[in-house]
Amino acid sequence: MNRRELFQKVLGTGAAVIAASVLRADAGAFNGPAGGTRGTQLVTILTGPFDTSSQPNGVRALTATPQFATYVRIQANPGQQGKIAIGRSVMATAPGNIADAAFVELWPNWDGTVDNGRSDTWIMSDPQWSNTINLADIYVWPEIAGETPVITAFQLV
């Protein structure tokens, strides 16, 4: 097997693993270990572009049911043009400018010309790597409807 064939084999195996995995946050019945506990394997429970357009005013909790993570990362999606507001539950019922109820705003990265192309990113982690961050307590609102921040959450199981 030459180097090219080996590379293709590795890539093919990786793709199969990705296809076979099911994100745990997508399974409504899975709530993860109770907050405060931790396991030994770090798994992704939420990932990818996050669409809030189905929710009233475009404000959506990261998960509809409590899911406990140890690390959460929210990134402005490169190429999109609106700010991203991150807040708590009051953002879901905020009158007026919803960002006025947020605790963080991420600047958009529409063409890579700001901050040497780095996308603005918010990270929250438990300092002791316990699963204590309830994703259902964190809300996201894209300033421009339909835009999709990139969100990743990890849990120790």
Partner 1 sequence: MLILTPSAAAGPLTVPGAPVPIATTSTLVNKLSVKPRLGQWSKVLVGGPNLLPDESTALAVLYPVPNGGQADAFVVQDQGGQNTIDLSQIFVYASIPGDTPMVEAFEYKTI
34 phi and psi angles, rounded to 5 deg = -60, 150
Task: Tell me the one-letter amino acid at 144.
Answer: I
Question: Count residues contacting partner 1 (CB under 8 A)?
Answer: 31
At its nearest, how many Å lie between partner 1 and the CB of residue 20?
A: 31
Binding status of residue 7 toward partner 1 by CB under 8 A: no
* Among 45, 46, 74, 133, contact with partner 1 (rule: CB under 8 A): 133
Binding status of residue 147 toward partner 1 by CB under 8 A: no
Interior/surface letters 20-44, b for 16+ CB within 10 angstroms, e for the rest = eeeebbeeeeebbeebeebeeeeeb
**Sheet with 139-142: strands ordered across:** 60-61, 139-142, 84-87, 102-106
Binding status of residue 101 toward partner 1 by CB under 8 A: yes
* Among 104, 148, 152, 157, contact with partner 1 (rule: CB under 8 A): 104
150-156 and 42-46 as β-strands: parallel, antiparallel, unpaired? antiparallel
Contact positions toward partner 1, by CB under 8 A? 34-36, 68, 83, 87-88, 90, 100-105, 107-108, 114-115, 118, 120-121, 124, 126-128, 130, 132-134, 137-138
